[in-house]
Structure 1
Amino acid sequence: MADLPADRLTSEPPFTSVGLDVFGPWNVITRRTRGGSADSKRWAVLFTCMSTRAVHIELIESMSTSRFINALRCFFSIRGPAKVLRSDRGTNFIGACRELGIDTNDSELTKYLSDKGCTWIFNPPHSSHMGGSWERLIGVARRILDAMLFQTGSTRLTHEVLSTLMSEVMAIINARPLVSVSTDPDMPAILTPSMLLTQKTNASSAPSGYFHMNDLHGKQWKQVQCLADTFWKRWRQEYLTTLQRRRKWTAEKPNVKVGDVVLLKDSQTHRNDWPVGLVVKTFPSTDEKVRKVELKVVKQGIAKVFLRPISEIVVLLSEAS
């Protein structure tokens, strides 16, 4: 199992490093007609802060590049600029990067919506486990929203009602405890993402210096900074220690190498029909472990190159042997 990304372990302003995905749709009433009503669909884009685990949700009217860019601009306008975006390799995300001029292969922070640096990192195709930090929160959002819709009964949704429900879902998720609730009476406060978000601090760097609880009775900016500093202290002491548990993928295995003959898994076909491929490129992580590769597969006389995680391939013949 790989180490966690550095942006999950760094105490930076909220939504500096962001994971995002789209979920839905829901049917809403757009206008009344003589024959009844005209319906359309709505999707939601979920943005999650990789370090504080806070959530922001934006509604979109279609799964198109332009609609997604509008949601992205709304998110940046409200939460401030981000340095790193992480997402699955969806077609709307690829199209947004191309239209915005963001080079996803450049490690430097080069371009951004408002002339600021931003790097967009895409996970390999068929690797949902690499986006577990936002996939899990989408499951949480779905369960909360399903419970709310169940309470409303057969009421037809409008865009305004769905937007209100999404705001309530966002508030509930941000109020969730990040760690187990302590029974210590001297620690009544629960560590949640909303503890930091509701302090109304901006995305700029905090003033340098040390702040103490006595500052709560002083100037207003010191009150805000003291509460934010308290959050980050508890975040480091209580939350980070829970992220290092590795319950699977603990056995040491040889790296996949260029020249290995592999089977490409395909859930749509029988195992006997899985295509045979040749590894043409590997992508070692910072710990020198290979977790994604490019492989060449010949289908119907046409050679194609696919990017896949190693969980989606089966090594048949190693180049080293």
Structure 2
Amino acid sequence: MTRRTRGGSADSKRWAVIFTCMSTRAVHFELIESMTTDSFINALRRFFAIRGPAKLLRSDRGTNFVGACKELGIDTEDSPVSTYLQGRGCSWIFNPPHSSHMGGAWERLIGVARRILDAMLLQTAHTRLTHEVLSTLMAEVMAIMNARPLVPVSSDPDAPTVLTPAMLLTQKMSTVSAPSGNFQMAELHGKQWKHVQCLANTFWKRWRRDYLSTLQGRRKWTAERPSVQVGDVVLLKDSQAHRNEWPVGLIVNTLPSGDKRIRKVEVKIVRDGTVKVLLRPVSEIVVLLSGES
């Protein structure tokens, strides 16, 4: 990160704390200036001030996490105190040392987001970010991750609506749309807000690709498995989709090949109020909800 000084500019590091809700699967980012207990406690207080207090926290054994737990008087080793805090305030559970794989859902989100951000921000052209640009970028990243689809919920079977973490947080159906315009790498040294939007678009393209690949795992075909069928609610892999938009459709017809395998389907979508039926290969769709469910 770059900060302006009287004689020019100076570089300094920033870190991000990622909070994720195990119920809604929503994420929240807080920037910190150092990996110290004080910085983390401030980030935790900001998180509680914005999202509300939490009853239970889980994390790995980061030194700043353990230090914050001691500083705040949360004793995870004393069972009666832990029970008391859980009933009246907040308790904290640490994973065993060297067991990041036990993080489950939050480690999965951290892994995908971190790989993308590292690839973006470690490039020379992207490293000189001001605190304002970096904090805005992290807010855009948070919005992108919270707009990801979870499960379809709709009273209209012909136009399924997808539940997202953002809906649970804001109680609003619409997501934050990207500003109109074509933001290119040439904008990086121009206006700051364009700089942010260019980086956010880059994150969106990579996040969408990597996240969809986690939903569409392909393993060695050693046994017969149910294929897609009419009535399945699916996500379409549309490379032209705008930021925070996830095209959702309903399979209305399957087209078996000569070997009776289904490799092509017809998907009905609603776009701009118009119903369309698209022909797509099964490799370009991700099943969200089976028609038999």
TM-score calculated relative to the size of structure 1: 0.47
- Are 2:54 and 2:90, in contact at CA under 8 Å, matched by a contact in 1? yes
Tell me which residue corresponds to 1:95. Answer: 67
1:111 is displaced (CA, Å) by: 4.3
Change (3 A) 1:64 1:74: same
> Are 1:110 and 2:93 matched, yes or no?
no
Task: Tell me which residue corresponds to 2:146.
Answer: 174
1:87/1:154 CA distance change after superposition, 3 Å: closer
- Identical residues among aligned pairs (%): 79
Please point out which of 107, 120, 129 is paired with 1:157.
129
Indicate whether 1:32 and 2:13 are aligned: no
1:208-262: per-residue Cα shift (whole Å, max 9, x none)? xxxxxxxxxxxxxxxxxxxxxxxxxxxxxxxxxxxxxxx9xxxxxxxxxxxxxxx
By how many angstroms is 1:192 displaced? 1.1
CA deviations on 1:123-152 (whole Å, 9 max, x unpaired) are 000111111211111123224535765999
- 5 Å-filtered alignment, 1:64-213, equals 64-107=36-79, 108-111=82-85, 116-145=88-117, 149=121, 153-154=125-126, 156-179=128-151, 185-199=157-171
Unaligned ranges ≥5, structure 1: 1-27, 201-246, 248-321
Richer in helix (by share) = 2
> After the TM superposition, which residues 1-20 of structure 1 pair with which residues of structure 2 at under 5 Å, given as runs?
none
Q: Cα 1:31–1:109, aligned 2, differ >3 Å: closer, same or farther?
A: farther
Task: Indicate how the Cα distance of structure 1 residues 163 and 109 shifts in structure 2: closer, same or farther if over 3 A, else same.
Answer: farther
The runs of 5 or more residues in structure 2 that have no matched partner are 173-218, 220-293
Query: CA 1:118 to 1:147, structure 2 compared with 1: closer, same or farther past 3 Å?
Result: same
- Distance, in Å, in 2 between the alignment partners of 1:172 and 1:97 is 30
| Distance in 2 separating the partners of 1:141 and 1:124 | 24
Distance (whole Å) between structure 1 residues aligned to residue 114 and residue 153 of structure 2: 24
How large is the Cα RMSD of the aligned pairs? 3.1
C-alpha separation in 1, matches of 2:159 and 2:37: 46
Equivalences, count: 170
Task: Specify the code of the residue in structure 1 equivalent to 2:21.
Answer: C
Structure 1: how far apart are the matches of 2:84 and 2:42?
A: 21
SS at match of 1:41: coil
SS in 2 for 1:186: coil
1:56 aligns with 2:28: yes
> Residue type matched to 2:26 in 1?
A
Q: 1:87, 1:123 within 8 Å by CA — same for their partners in 2?
A: yes
* SS, match of residue 50 in structure 1: coil
2:42 maps to a residue whose letter is N
Q: How big is the shift at 1:32? A: 3.0
Distance in 2, Cα, partners of 1:197 & 1:123: 27
CA contact (8 A) 2:120 2:126 kept: no
Structure 2 CA distance for partners of 1:150 and 1:91, relative to 1, 3 Å:
closer
CA distance in 1, matches of 2:51, 2:43: 12
Q: Tell me if the contact between 1:43 and 1:63 (Cα under 8 Å) persists in the aligned partners.
A: yes
Deviation at 1:51, TM superposition (A): 1.4
Taking the aligned partners of 1:88 and 1:199, their CA distance within structure 2 comes to 31
Q: 1:154 to 1:141 in 2, by over 3 A?
A: closer
The answer to whether the 8 Å contact 1:88/1:122 transfers is yes
CA displacement 1:25-63 (0-9 Å, x = unmatched): xxx1123353x4211100000000011110000000000
Aligned residue identity for 1:41: K
Deviations 1:74-132 (A, max 9, x none): 000111010110000111111101110011124444349xx951110000001111112
Q: Which amino acid aligns with 2:143?
A: A
Q: From the superposition, tell whether residues 154 and 104 of structure 1 become closer, same or farther in structure 2 (CA, over 3 Å).
A: closer
Q: Secondary structure at 1:101's aligned position in 2?
A: coil
C-alpha distance 154-192 of structure 1, shift in aligned 2 (>3 A): closer
Q: Relative to structure 1, is the Cα distance of residues 142 and 120 closer, same or farther in structure 2, using a 3 angstrom cutoff?
A: same
TM-score w.r.t. length of structure 2: 0.52
**In 2, Cα distance between equivalents of 1:67 and 1:162:** 17
